[in-house]
Structure 1
Amino acid sequence: MPTTPRARARAQTMTDIVRIGREHLATDGAAALSLRAVARDLGVVSSAVYRYVSSRDELLTLLVIDGYNALGDAVDAALADAPDDPIEQMRVLARTVRRWATAEPARYGLLFGTPVPGYDAPADQTMAPGTRVIIALQSLFARAHQSGLLHAPATDPRISAPLATSFAEIRNEAHFDIPDWLITRGVTFWASLFGAVTADVFDMYGTETFADRDELFELQLDALLDMLGYRP
């Protein structure tokens, strides 16, 4: 926590810059973000804002980190109030992602939508916040597997040596003891969940195709859990 008046003032200014950046993201889109516009809304000359944020790309990085952490915080809070059942918690996590994305389509689009031309998010700053939800999912996969709630396939999938090495690295980094078949299905669960949310948030289904998208999403969750190996 900032301990001096100067440090507190700087922290507040950075908070205001990110807040204003979020507002411009929602109204103008990521590609049109402008530090000059942020400085104007902040009430300072454009040169002053560069003492805090050096470029549009740095502002985008701040917004990416802010978005990932907002989504991660929402998921953590929902899981803290969920029943102590990994299957139900997967449902809670998925519903929370969809609810957050629906409420924050611009921020969700920055994180999971079309890349911003000319911008590459720095992995050293965005990797940790960006993997919070998938790590939470991996933890739930591991708990469900350890509890005997997931059924293994009749035959293990054929996995090449290079991909098996990748899976082993995932296990070592995440400290989750889950078999290769579950990593494969877990990645499919993750990709399909965000694909379903993206299709819903960006209206890829069309406005009148499905009478009840909430019900559709619950059916999709049932299908994903079935794919994962859960048998009620």
Structure 2
Amino acid sequence: MEGTPRDRARSQTMADIVRIGRQHLSTEGAAALSLRAVARDLGVVSSAVYRYVASRDELLTLLVVAGYDELGDAVDSALGKVEEGDFGARLSAIGTTVRAWAVGEPAMYALLFGSPVPGYHAPAERTTEPGTRVVRALVQLWAQAYAAGAIQVPQGPPVPGSLAEAFVAVRAELGLDLPDQVLARGVLAWAALFGCISFEVFGQYGPDTFGDPAALFEHQLRVLAETVGLTDRA
């Protein structure tokens, strides 16, 4: 660890605060997070912890960024093990990695993708970049597959004019060369991917409704690939 002993001590304290905050998130929930409780478990007076974290909202932001980065790192690592031209396998890597992380970290997943925490508004300047890492991986997958001829542009309902206008801005912002139908279905796949995971994590299917949730999710991924028009390879 670089820096002066004081810098290292501060970094360690910040890491401990986030670690304890994460524990409280799992046991108490986001709405009940308390810096006083964190200070108690850290072994310091409550006033001392405010020198590191200014408020409950600041702690929530630290947890949000940590969660997004952890999830993004997991997806990047999974993609690094899959051949770039095997687009079906890359979609599977993204989906199964997000699901595994969500199932293993339900409290963090709920903070990122569940109901908003009352009174808390995540600062866009700190959370947008880490928070879009997974969707950007999906967008990159669609773009690479389309460029390689591995997406058969699906026929479907025409894209409404107002949505087509919005897609112009999306293409410009992300540097994409994708037709409206692929973009529309890519958005559907993005929403459906997290919807399927959320149903499982939050128990919306009911207890023991499906004997093998992993197999159900794998099937859902294949359906989503077909929806976008994705083939395994060019």
How does the TM-score come out when normalised to structure 1? 0.95
Aligned length: 231
Counterpart in 2 of 1:157? Answer: 158
State yes or no: 1:214 paired with 2:211.
no
Deviates more, 1:98-107 or 1:143-152: 143-152
State yes or no: 1:188 paired with 2:163.
no
- What pairs up with 1:132-151 in 2 under 5 angstroms? 132-151=133-152
State yes or no: 1:203 paired with 2:203.
yes
How far apart in 2 are the matches of 1:182 and 1:3? 48
Q: Secondary structure at the match of 2:121?
A: coil
How does the TM-score come out when normalised to structure 2? 0.94
How far apart in 1 are the matches of 2:100 and 2:83? 19
Counterpart in 1 of 2:47? Answer: 47
Q: Secondary structure at the match of 2:9?
A: helix
How far apart in 2 are the matches of 1:204 and 1:154? 32
Give the counterpart letter for 1:88 in structure 2: A
Q: CA deviation at 1:5?
A: 1.7
Identity %: 57
Query: For structure 2, which runs of at least 5 residues remain unmatched after alignment?
Result: none
Superposed CA deviations along residues 3-56 of structure 1, whole A, max 9, x for unmatched, are 222222111111111111101101111011000011111111000000111110
Counterpart in 1 of 2:25? Answer: 25
How far apart in 2 are the matches of 1:164 and 1:8? 51
How far apart in 2 are the matches of 1:96 and 1:157? 33
How far apart in 1 are the matches of 2:207 and 2:2? 48
| Moved beyond 2 Å, runs of 4+ | 153-159, 162-166
Counterpart in 2 of 1:63? Answer: 63
RMSD (Å) for aligned C-alpha atoms: 1.5
Superposed CA deviations along residues 202-231 of structure 1, whole A, max 9, x for unmatched, are 111011211211111111111101110135
Q: Secondary structure at the match of 1:169?
A: helix
Query: For structure 1, which runs of at least 5 residues remain unmatched after alignment?
Result: none
Counterpart in 1 of 2:90? Answer: 89
Deviates more, 1:205-214 or 1:89-98: 205-214
**8 A contact 2:74–2:97 mirrored in 1:** yes
Deviates more, 1:141-150 or 1:105-114: 141-150
Counterpart in 2 of 1:227? Answer: 227
Q: Secondary structure at the match of 1:208?
A: coil
Deviates more, 1:150-159 or 1:196-205: 150-159
Structure with greater contact order relative to length (CA < 8 Å, sep ≥ 6): 2
Q: Secondary structure at the match of 2:195?
A: helix
**8 A contact 2:159–2:180 mirrored in 1:** no
**8 A contact 1:87–1:144 mirrored in 2:** no
Q: Secondary structure at the match of 2:149?
A: coil
How far apart in 1 are the matches of 2:92 and 2:181? 21
Q: CA deviation at 1:2?
A: 4.7
Q: Secondary structure at the match of 1:21?
A: helix
State yes or no: 1:107 paired with 2:89.
no
Give the counterpart letter for 2:78 in structure 1: A
Q: CA deviation at 1:180?
A: 1.5
Superposed CA deviations along residues 155-189 of structure 1, whole A, max 9, x for unmatched, are 672331x4333212222222222121111111100
Give the counterpart letter for 1:130 in structure 2: G
Q: Secondary structure at the match of 1:210?
A: coil
